[in-house]
Structure 1
Amino acid sequence: MLVVYGYTVEGAEDPIIARAYEVMDNFLATVSPGAWLVDIIPQLKYLPSWTPGATFLTTAKARRKLLNTHYRTMYQWSKENSENGTARMPNLCASVLAQAEGKMTPEMEESLTWAAASVLGGGLDSNISTILSFILAMLRFPDVQKKAQAEIHNVVGSERLPEISDRPSLPYVRSVITEVYRWLPIAPLGFVHALTEDDIYGEIFLPKGSVVLPNIWHMLHDLTVHPEPDTFKPERYGGLDTEMKKVTDLAFGFGRRACPGFHLAERSIFSVVATVLATCDIVPVVDEHGQEIIPDVRYTTGIVISPVDVKCTFRPRSEQARTALVDSVASMI
């Protein structure tokens, strides 16, 4: 919200972020493969809304109205702040408006409204799911956490927090993030594609218009490409960007519908992961007998999946680390 509109979320109960998640939940439910008969029989879209069994029409209308209201309201809010000089910079909408110097046409504003919506919508659930998967991996593979922390200490030290400029010098941390993408891809079946022309895959003829679901999970767990696919092993990339790219090229989609926010997502996730590793030990919670509870690898279902359980404790690595983390969070509010 801050990057796109310059809006600072006040907390989990903030009505703006609550509405954003409602819109995103509606979207994911709508695009889920097989959820709607109309996706299989397109002619059903011509039915009157009062027809028995056509509740999908009223559902779609209500969800579309909420989506339009939310994103247009956020754009107008950002635009007004930009015009009266109170916009929190940098943010996407205000930056584009400033560059236009008051010469935005209605068509340009419409494009900006939905470009901003795409950036926000694309990062809401996906970034959070990736971070939760990272936490789960650190709980199940503590040696990886220690190795990543050691790299940060050797490169950055303890006098400051990691920055984006440190990213090239932290190949193991980058490998950890890449392994999160591979180990538990948040969109295991990618997004639905439709062929724009006839195609042939192996010996299978696929006519134009065929619906295709890319099995991202299988690609990233292929034994011939990734030995021991269920083991979280950042070392498999050797710290090489060329090897990591083989994963990100799949995890972020491909073709014309590849994730447009790839670079933003990579940097924001790096910032969170590196900061957490630099300041905290991620440790399991304990039961009434003092035994550690290691979460199982269990995920929700849907287009975008997320860990079911990542209960843990973030234990500051030092009082200095605690202070640095608190100050960093305070500076963003």
Structure 2
Amino acid sequence: MSNLQFLTQDQIDQFHRDGYLLIPNFLSHDGIQEMMARSKQLLDDFTLEGHPMTKFTTGDSTEDKHVGDDYFLNSGDKIRYFLEEDAVGPDGKLNRPKVLAVNKIGHALHELDPTFRRVSLQNERLKALAKDLQFHKDPAVLQSMLIFKQPEIGGKVGEHNDSTFLYTDPPTALGFWFALEDCTPTNGALSFLPGSHKTNPLKSRFVRLPQGGTGFEPLPDAATEETPTTSESNKEDDKYIQPPCPAGTLVLIHGSVLHKSEKNTSTKTRYAYTFHMIESEPYAQYDDKNWLQPTKEMPFSKLFAVHA
């Protein structure tokens, strides 16, 4: 007799096979409206006074420059605003209204904002899902973000996996990604390379550099591979799947599965809320070189220890 409370066995098998799983209608209509309203209020509250005009970029390769200023590096226990690259003009000023210029807000919404705390840490359905999936023995929650994909400038996010950025030994990152609006091919919907969590071992980790800023450090046991040719890359692109993702859908993302999203070329936004879970000690070690570090004032919350 099954002890599953939320997921079906078919869903669990699909997640382990593909490395991702879409759960439609995880958020109710009222839940979506509440999160959208709070997202818009946070954007309205954003002030440029004292803001360092930090732009967020991920780039397409390990050679590309990533954000690494103090505003970013010290955001793990705060609610901070990061701008779209194309929203800041050559003069260093916004070229559009502020509510259409923010790329994302992070990275402690799940701790500090009551609306997103209820979704992330006080959600009994989500706890039942995590118990069914059995991906972690003692999951800790971290790195929450509102991601906006602003109209016509919402930046492309190249192929990547999440465990590179939230490295544990062994790798244990798991993404929870909530569509607050319909995600379409023109506004930057997620796409995945199914099964790549089994065939593409981690090669590097995203770290704080001793000299300041951030960069990528090769993993000691990572195999060196030749850079794929353009034709080989195109063949891999053809294997990517972009599943339909209407508002209210929860997407589970294995930390090693390759995924990406294209630039928002539409006139519509693509609001999403996301956070991550990792395994806690002693089952896995969180790397002290990771860009996001717990603080004495705000250690990573344990999912099953938080009560509504």
Q: Normalization by structure 2: what TM-score?
A: 0.29
Q: Which has the larger radius of gyration?
A: 1
Q: Normalization by structure 1: what TM-score?
A: 0.27
**Which of the pair is proportionally richer in helix?**
1
Q: Which has the higher contact order (CA 8 A, sep 6+)?
A: 2
